[in-house]
Amino acid sequence: GAVVSQHPSWVICKSGTSVKIECRSLDFQATTMFWYRQFPKQSLMLMATSNEGSKATYEQGVEKDKFLINHASLTLSTLTVTSAHPEDSSFYICSARDLMPTRGGSPLHFGNGTRLTVT
């Protein structure tokens, strides 16, 4: 089935540094990808919609200058957390839309997530 690879699966960084998270669709083209954040014991909250070749659309309250999203190809979207602070520590997970899902399959595929810890 369709696979979305997300890398790294976990990362620890120091406060003030930047971290890049990659989301790659391995066997399908994803013109649209989505980035979510999940705090412990909470639900997933949409951060932004990433469109190939154009600027990302950010949800209200999400700082676009802090969470930089680039979707330069049909198979890769990246999320860069700039000048990370401890409050940015969270689980970040991407999903990609599959325009040709298998019968009974999901039109969306999630990566395995990235656990970010900022010290």
Identity of the residue, 84 or 111, whose beta carbon is nearer to other proteins in the bound complex: 111
Of 66, 89, 96, 98, nearest to 79 (Cα)?
66
Round the CA-based radius of gyration of the chain to a whole number and report it: 14
Site string for other proteins, 23-52 (x = CB under 8 A): --------xx-x---x---xxxxx--x-x-
Identity of the residue, 33 or 81, whose beta carbon is nearer to other proteins in the bound complex: 33
Question: Which residues within the stretch 59-98 sit at the binding site for other proteins (CB under 8 A)?
Answer: 91, 93, 95, 97
E-assigned strand segments in 1-113: 4-7, 10-13, 19-25, 32-38, 44-51, 57-58, 67-73, 76-81, 90-97, 108-110
Task: Note whether 57 binds other proteins by CB under 8 A.
Answer: yes
Residues in the interface with other proteins (CB under 8 A) total 26
* E strand or H helix at 41: none
Residues found near other proteins in the complex (CB under 8 A):
31-32, 34, 38, 42-46, 49, 51, 57, 91, 93, 95, 97, 104-110, 112-113, 115
